[in-house]
Structure 1
């Protein structure tokens, strides 16, 4: 189905998952006051879910935060670094011939939301609760649409980003947060303040 590069990527992903400890814990059930009203899903999410229903299982669940242990923190750093180094940036137009398409980067190429989808999948497959792993749409420092993965923990909210090799608190990103998945249902998206449309576009790590 995929070329040799895709197979190598898949084998590397499996190797990383085998080396990861399961560190998911039930945590604080608070919903943060920053969450606003429900809003439309980002362009590309519905189509991704139609193609990958297993990654979009919905239904109301209990909000859960990760308890950040030393092992859990190392897992976050490892996944963020590995995906950033393994996946090569490529716009959806160059990749698929369309402006916006969400997909797992099985061939080794993708744009920002594809990095996020892979990081989320790797952590969920390693045992982390999806309720703590929230795809988030932001405006970056240039005001352009961008996607990151927010990880909700008992120590606050941290961001995994293909533009940053470090895992940082959301307050340290310099981004304006637009919308993200609800903790209680991954197919419900909630507003985070910036109501202008934000199409997540491909970006190299230097963006």
Structure 2
């Protein structure tokens, strides 16, 4: 399902709101197919994110008053599109090996970066715009060729939306060509949880840390 301005406007029942309205975690049902399900408990944190957290511990702690999702309105939808497109256009894709001479290095882009750097920049931009950190989840996925990739999973009342540096659209998670592996915990930005993705859409051949 691809969202568009006209379809979103038609679907809204209440008046559009200028600011994010969050829904308490205990009151929101995320068992709907529009949301990626997760396994109970935590899982291993990607090596690159673990190193990022060691250098920026203030960005990797528990989320105060975590919320289940953001109520998506016209203004917030446009904000997602703007942030996704703006950072995709502003950053030139370069591998960590070419840029830093290491296999994996998560950091904010300095005009150049790989997929994790795009995600970090988008997450920071949305947090600065007022979005709750608990709804902005760095996620590890696998591409059809088995290679690892990172996207930003945005949890909204319309479902889990994906901000990706490889495509210009913002799509529902189930309409992307990826196998979803794990993501940040909504309760703690420094912890990760496994995701359950049983769709038979890609061939998974590569391991991931």
TM-score w.r.t. length of structure 1? 0.79
* C-alpha distance in structure 2 between counterparts of 1:46 and 1:119, whole Å: 19
In structure 2, the partner of 1:76 is: 80
* C-alpha distance in structure 1 between counterparts of 2:63 and 2:76, whole Å: 26
Superposed CA deviations along residues 85-109 of structure 1, whole A, max 9, x for unmatched, are 000001101111100000000x201
For the 8 Å contact 1:61–1:185, the answer to whether it is kept is: no
In structure 2, the partner of 1:197 is: 207
In angstroms, what is the RMSD of aligned CA positions? 2.1
Q: Which runs of 5+ in 1 are unaligned?
A: 1-20, 200-207
User: Residues 36, 47 of structure 1: CA spacing in aligned structure 2 closer, same or farther, 3 A cutoff?
Assistant: same
User: How many pairs align?
Assistant: 178
TM-score w.r.t. length of structure 2? 0.79
Map 1:125-140 to 2 at 5 A: 125-140=128-143
In structure 2, the partner of 1:89 is: 93
* C-alpha distance in structure 1 between counterparts of 2:77 and 2:64, whole Å: 27
For the 8 Å contact 2:59–2:189, the answer to whether it is kept is: no
Q: 116-125 vs 47-56, which deviates more?
A: 47-56
Displacement, 1:22? 6.8
2:114 maps to which of 111, 114, 118:
111
Map 1:1-207 to 2 at 5 A: 23-27=19-23, 29=25, 30=28, 32-33=30-31, 34-37=37-40, 38-58=42-62, 61-105=65-109, 107-193=110-196, 197-198=207-208
User: Residues 85, 171 of structure 1: CA spacing in aligned structure 2 closer, same or farther, 3 A cutoff?
Assistant: same
